[in-house]
A and B are shown apart, each in its own frame.
Chain A
């Protein structure tokens, strides 16, 4: 039921600086793909550009039999793509539940959407407890859960995650990893952008390594984990 996402020739330029150059990849149905790389390697730009949130050039973006090449950012969610931004970006002045419902902005706020809300609350029980609290008053980890929950509310078939581990304690990181694995097992395709290579290898089956805005290496997560160069640079071993 899920579709393959095929991205061909994605580039991002800010002024005279090229943030991402000719990035191409495919995410198979139900697969989780990782993008790792150092700070400034172009991972976040790639993701934002894919989501249509920054100006980009791209040869084509296809999701199953849909052509998303010219779809504006605000309509990506209508094609089944959920987005968890770097730095969480919850709506701080709105209650937790309003944040989640806004994730389902493209759906009607009743029936199946409320079932999804229940599923999100089951996934993150703390959010149910905090449902009336303002999102800005949550801890970093809770905000990350909220950001993931918000993306799930649109019932996406593919979820783009940008640095979900950033600034979280090891305990929370492993909680998030557990949730991501669970979602993936349920058939949700994922694109995970991370500086934390360890985490990425654990959640994904295949990875791109980005350096200076371009894809430097690709391979299965398992083979990359064994790769001496990757071990040295990204795992610090």
Chain B
């Protein structure tokens, strides 16, 4: 039982990071109907910037993360701005454009930081804390708390602010949104920026858990994407649940099957998606008319 709960909490922590990645995917998808294939690479860039400012510049961990979020937010805006002329013209090219950005970002990371990667020490004491017999890594709790706070902020933004409402309106109907005076391009840029910021948060947080390397974007991108699909692509609550789900499955699979764990994780994912193709919360379709 103890092992079960410890595995579960470890999975939740990793899952919270997948959930952040998944929310970025879903936010951009629901706003623009676009899968941002550069998203994983943005996570990786975020991880590198956060770890660089933390390890080399010696900023406090939280501040290093803030820098990473700022820089990647800017990258998000740039990606949207470059792709904007293709919207409403050639959607496939736009999709391929995001793949191109992913490749460029990965190449940039290799040029700047090298191909080998680095380990990031935990910003909090590595010794686990004891909660009624459960030994939990302190850092897992930090990750969960930060991810929860970021999620709450995002939900507040979407539900309670004018710009959040406008972003949702754009997601539902471009033309009607334009007619009430919303600048669709600017709203899309903001979605990209927030998505990239979430990616950087995920990248910064995952640093002490995994190895930071130029290739990490692929892995985290796929896991986050799977989380978004599992929850129902485009749904924010779905992204949270889906990300957590993938994290927990991952954690148990790693404990039981070691080398085959990825295979098992994606096998389970595939079976769930075959049973429920729209994902947990997937009902809405994106209106691009």
Contact = CB atoms under 8 A, between A and B. Distances in A.
Contacts of A77: 179-181
B176 interface: yes
| Interface size of A as a range | 20 to 34
A83 B168 contact: no
B216 to A, nearest CB: 34
A213 interface: no
Given A74-B184, A85-B179, 13 more contacts: A53-B178, A77-B181, A83-B179, A85-B176, A91-B169, A91-B176, A93-B168, A93-B172, A103-B180, A105-B182, A106-B180, A106-B181, A154-B181
B173 interface: yes
Nearest to A92: B172
Contacts of B169: 91, 94, 102
Contacts of B172: 91-94
B181 A105 contact: yes
Contacts of B166: 102, 105
Nearest to A78: B181
A148 to B, nearest CB: 13
Interface string A64-85: 0000000001111110000101
Nearest to A89: B176
Interface of A: 51, 53, 73-78, 83, 85, 89-94, 98, 101-103, 105-106, 109, 150, 154
B130 to A, nearest CB: 45
A150 B172 CA distance: 15
Nearest to A93: B172
Interface in B223-265: none
Contacts of B173: 89-91
Q: Which of B166, B173, B184 has the most CB of A within 10 A?
A: B173
B284 interface: yes
Q: Which of B162, B177, B180 has the most CB of A within 10 A?
A: B180
B179 A76 contact: yes
Q: Which of A53, A93, A98, A150 has the most CB of B within 10 A?
A: A93
B277 to A, nearest CB: 20
Q: Which 8 A-B pairs have the closest CB atoms?
A: A89-B176, A77-B181, A106-B181, A83-B179, A91-B172, A105-B180, A105-B181, A74-B178
Interface string B172-212: 11011111111110000000000000000000000000000
Nearest to A94: B168
Contacts of B171: 93
B78 interface: no
Contacts of B168: 91, 93-94
A80 to B, nearest CB: 11
A225 B284 CA distance: 45
B63 interface: no
B165 interface: yes
B173 to A, nearest CB: 5
